[in-house]
Amino acid sequence: MARPLISPSILSADFARLGEEVRAIDEAGADWIHVDVMDGHFVPNLTIGPAVVKALRPHTAKPLDVHLMIAPVDPFLTAFADAGADIITFHPEAGPHAHRTVQAIKALGKQAGVSLNPATPAKMLDYLIDEIDLVLVMSVNPGFGGQSFIASQLKKIEAVRKMIDKTGRDIRLQVDGGIDVGTATQAIEAGADVLVAGTATFRGGPQRYAENIAALRGGH
């Protein structure tokens, strides 16, 4: 299996030093930068908007992996694309027409991702899988960092992996929530190839970031 990509979630970074934190995780070996956008309505937390994504864009050449936990999602796609997002991931529950949302993201020249909440079945992807670039399996209920991994999601990761392999397309399978050294290994074994980690990446300060990222990759 190819080496898994690590996409540190800046939700766990020092928000007073966000540009420096992004540069530090970039230099420490992060593959992507994961940006959690929450609206206090679709999920129970309020984080950041397009202006922060735009401010961070000059600090890294790595892909900005923007996870929109907002509803309705469609009115904000252009703003995040213009701000410099490379991958825009949304939840099918965040609007009435998930296929239209995928089309809108692609029309903006961005990669489109679909995120599945813990109770959302893999079957939700049946009529979207041929259009998308990424599937994000949430291994916690979205809204907060630092939660524990929900083990039932490993079966879903396996199911999504089979769906992806069947298409023959280059679709990334990302897992987010409760990722640490132990659960990272479980997620990779189930078929994940991109890991989102907030707490596990930023623990110990900048001098530890490279070590933390390497530990998440394990022997891969």
Among 85, 101, 92, which residue's Cα sits nearest to residue 69?
92
For residues 189-216, give the mean pLDDT. Answer: 97
pLDDT higher than threshold 90 for residue 220: no
Q: Which residues are annotated as a binding site for a divalent metal cation?
A: 34, 36, 67, 176
Average pLDDT along the chain: 96
The whole-number pLDDT of residue 144 equals 81
The whole-number pLDDT of residue 138 equals 98
pLDDT higher than threshold 70 for residue 11: yes
Domain, as residue range, for 179: 5-217
Strand-pair category, 5-8 with 194-197? parallel
Q: Which residues are annotated as a binding site for substrate?
A: 9, 67, 143-146, 176-178
Q: How many angstroms separate the CA atoms of 92 and 20, rounded?
A: 33
Q: Which pLDDT band, with edges at 50, 70 and 90, does 112 fall under?
A: very high
Helix, strand, or coil here: 7? Answer: strand
Q: Which pLDDT band, with edges at 50, 70 and 90, does 145 fall under?
A: confident
CATH number at residue 127: 3.20.20.70
For residues 120-125, give the mean pLDDT. Answer: 97
Cβ 46 vs Cβ 39: under 8 Å: yes
The CA-atom distances, in angstroms, between 199 and each of 64, 124, 155 are: 18, 29, 24
CA 63 to chain CA centroid, nearest Å: 11
For 39-56, the pLDDT digits (tens) are 999 999 999 999 999 999
Q: Which pLDDT band, with edges at 50, 70 and 90, does 143 fall under?
A: confident
The whole-number pLDDT of residue 219 equals 62
Q: Which residues are annotated as a binding site?
A: 9, 34, 36, 67, 143-146, 176-178
| pTM, 2 dp | 0.97
Q: Which long-range contacts (CB under 8 A, 24 or more apart) does 36-39 make?
A: 36/9, 36/10, 36/11, 36/67, 36/69, 36/145, 36/198, 37/66, 37/67, 37/68, 37/69, 37/70, 37/80, 38/69, 38/70, 38/142, 38/143, 39/69, 39/70, 39/71
Annotated catalytic residue: which of 26, 133, 176, 193?
Answer: 176
Burial 119-131 (b: 16+ CB within 10 A, else e): ebebebbeebbeb
For residues 121-134, give the mean pLDDT. Answer: 97
Q: How many angstroms separate the CA atoms of 153 and 125, rounded?
A: 15
Does the active-site annotation cover 36? yes
What percentage of the chain reaches a pLDDT higher than 70? 99
Does the active-site annotation cover 82? no
Q: Which pLDDT band, with edges at 50, 70 and 90, does 1 fall under?
A: low
**Which tokens hold the place of 74?**
């469609």
Total domains in the chain come to: 1
The whole-number pLDDT of residue 218 equals 82
